[in-house]
Amino acid sequence: MADTEESPKALEPMEVEDSKKGFTGDTAFHIQHVTKYTRNDDEALKAFAELGGEPMDIAQEMDEATNKRLLRTIDWHLMPILCLVFGLNYLDKTALSYASIMGLKIDLNLSVEEYNWLGSIFYIGFLVWEYPTNRLMQMLPLARYSATCVTLWGAVLCLFAVAKSWSGAMAIRFFMGLLEAASMPGFALLSSQWYTHHEHNTRTGMYIGSNGGGQIIGGLVAYGIAKHVPNDGTQPLAPWKILFIVTGGVTVLVGLAFFYIIPDSQLNCRWLSKRDRLLAIARVSENEQGIGNTQFKRYQLLEAFTDPLTWALFLYGVLSDIPNGGITNYFSQLIVNFGYTPLQSLLYGIPGGGVVIVSCLANGFLGDYFQQRTLVACVPMAVAVLGMLLIIALPISNNVGRLVGYYMTQTLPSVGATVLSLISSNIAGYTKKTTVAAIYMVGYAAGNIIGPQTFRSKDAPRYLSAEITILVCFSLCIVDLLFINWWCRRENRRKAAIRAQPDFIPVENHGWRDMTDRENLEFVYCI
């Protein structure tokens, strides 16, 4: 277990040259000039000490050409794997939706309520393991732990092919959720390690957008299997079993590639030279949050629980994922209810994946370009609101119009990418960041548990009460995004006023002290 550390205000460094009085907000404390890395500091200072160099000296080498070269190298190594994992993450979850119209419900003799619980139990596993997995990501090598989870969840997905009852399928879905709990918070931590805050929204949009790729590939694979492998008992494996084996097997292979390619941090990156490792750390200095710290700090935990931004992120997780949980598990059946055959529904779900890709890339790029992430994200959320209105308002006979409405709701993941990028950009202090990520993911899991339960058998085929619930949640998400925008602006103004005071003295190497976003007065929130 990692040692527990208190606020840096109460700690003594290993070597001190001098100290002087400084101020943060209304509280006075000692600023200590540290010449060697301490356990309380960020891992970046350890890298500078071990690899040779001073933070300011290294930062001066970062010209535009060097920055572009490093960014290109980082992108080519990180983004393909992150996109593959996220696409498979979505595909593995939605395989249940495809399987539901490929014979799974008949072969396992599932009622509507039992099928709903297969959707919810995944997120119960997610919920149970979310905080422990975030602590483990702080204590253990981040990439190796994440790769282990990816590989194991692929293996567990393959086991779905041997499920013979509802209880067996429930156990498999529970462990899938437990293992996938590391994916989104782990990627948020990786993003904050490797990319500047001006790059977070674009990169997060890229790998969240790969959900759309998963939806497209999943629809094509499911259609091919359903069309050419009859579910009449004459085949050694039912079509839905083949689907789980294929998707799980590919996930295992990608997990093994994750082990080989993705480093835990710049410190052990085999595809960067010694000097480039230092430069890769220096290029993210503007984030004011370093690259990691294994010490658990109670004051950061408490700050996470008392920060209004934490609960705004949590609320978004709940509100957005009630719709997500319902649509993810029911989208194939919804399309069938629009008047199409089960086989057609597998194909007609594919354009929704295209909407996910385009909206995520556009939202990510425009949010970073205008430096207005939360306001830009209100646009795709408004499109999702309009799409849900079409589904509710149009008569059930208007299958084309309602299908277009479904496609419009697929802009939702792009907004989730923005919110996840805010955790990368706007939460500093490694204990606080992992805690806030866990709290957000608890909201995510809770919403996805509730979502499938809104689709009640007595409401079929219209599911009007579920559709109205989704509409209300989408609308409240816009209100929540506007609050986040207002709160971050307010905090930026408060900090700017303090920095403008004549007696303000900044902490030396403030970006490498593992200070929280509220504690570090040089930290500026992205909006």
Q: Give the domain ranges of the chain.
A: 4-61+498-512, 64-496
Residue 89 reports pLDDT greater than 50: yes
The CA distance from 423 to 200, in Å, is: 10
Asked if the model's pLDDT at residue 299 lies above 80, the reply is: yes
DSSP 506: P
Looking at per-residue pLDDT, the higher value among 350 and 382 belongs to 382
Mean pLDDT along residues 63-74: 90
466 within 8 A of 340, measured Cβ to Cβ:
no
Q: What percent of the chain has pLDDT over 70?
A: 84
State which H helix or E strand residue 33 sits in. strand 27-34
Q: Are 465 and 459 in contact (CB under 8 A)?
A: yes
Neighbour tally for 61: CB within 10 Å: 12
Residue 477 CB coordination number (10 Å): 26
List alpha helices for 140-196, DSSP H: 142-158, 166-180, 183-194
The pLDDT value recorded for residue 329 is: 62
Q: Are 484 and 312 in contact (CB under 8 A)?
A: yes
**3-state DSSP helix/strand/coil % of the chain, to nearest 5:** 75, 5, 25
Q: What residues have CB less than 8 Å from 85, skipping those under 6 apart?
A: 150, 183, 187, 207, 254, 255, 258
Q: How far apart are CA 336 and CA 46, in angstroms?
A: 57
Q: How confident is the model at residue 11 (pLDDT cuts 50, 70, 90)?
A: very low
Taking 90 as the threshold, does the pLDDT of residue 382 lie above it?
A: yes
Residue 167 is predicted with a pLDDT of 92
- In which band, very low, low, confident or very high, does the pLDDT at 274 lie, cut at 50, 70 and 90? confident
- When pLDDT is cut at 50, 70 and 90, the band that residue 54 belongs to is low
Strand partners, 20: 31
Identify which of 56, 166, 184 has the alpha carbon closest to the alpha carbon of residue 111: 166
Longest dimension (CA), the chain: 83
SS (H, E, C) 384-436: HHHHHHHHHHCCCCCHHHHHHHHHHHCCHHHHHHHHHHHHHHHCCCHHHHHHH
pLDDT value at residue 97: 76
Residues written for the chain: 527
More confident residue, 27 or 225: 225
CA-CA-CA-CA dihedral for 44, 183, 268, 52, to nearest 10: -10
Locus of tokens 């060697």:
36
CB-CB contact of 219 with 227 (8 Å): no
Q: Where is pLDDT greater, at 389 or 461?
A: 389
Tell which CATH classification among 3.40.50.10140, 1.20.1250.20, 3.40.50.280, 3.10.20.30 matches the domain 64-496.
Answer: 1.20.1250.20
Q: Are 350 and 215 in contact (CB under 8 A)?
A: yes
User: What is the rounded average pLDDT of the residues 389-414?
Assistant: 89
In whole angstroms, give the CA distance from residue 311 to residue 324: 19
Question: Which residue is it, tokens 């194939």?
Answer: 332
| Contacts (Cβ under 8 Å, ≥6 apart) of 129 | 177, 178, 181
Give the pLDDT score at 53: 56
Q: CA-CA-CA-CA torsion for 99, 217, 350, 418, nearest 10 degrees?
A: 100
Cα-only R_g, the chain: 24
Average pLDDT, integer, range 135-158: 92
pTM given for the model? 0.82
At 205 the pLDDT is 93
Percent residues over pLDDT 90 in the chain: 43
Q: Which structure tokens are listed for 254?
A: 């990608």
pLDDT of residue 234: 64
Token pair, residue 9, equals 């205000």
**Hey, CA dihedral for 496, 497, 498, 499, is it positive or negative?**
positive
- Residue 324: pLDDT band (50, 70, 90) is confident
Q: Which two tokens stand for residue 11?
A: 């700690």
The β-bridge partners of 19 are: 32
* Cα-Cα end-to-end distance for the chain: 36
Does 39 score more than 70 pLDDT?
no
Tell me how far apart the alpha carbons of residues 307 and 288 are, in angstroms, rounded to a whole number: 18
> Residue 364: which pLDDT band, with cuts at 50, 70 and 90?
very high
**In whole angstroms, what is the distance from residue 356 CA to residue 377 CA?**
13
Q: Do the beta carbons of residue 330 and residue 448 sit within 8 Å? A: no
Stronger pLDDT, 334 or 504, i.e. the higher one: 504
Long-range contacts of 380-384, Cβ-Cβ distance < 8 Å, separation of 24 or more: 380/411, 380/412, 380/414, 380/415, 381/411, 381/412, 381/415, 381/474, 381/477, 381/478, 381/481, 382/478, 383/359, 383/408, 383/411, 384/323, 384/408, 384/409, 384/410, 384/411, 384/412, 384/415, 384/474
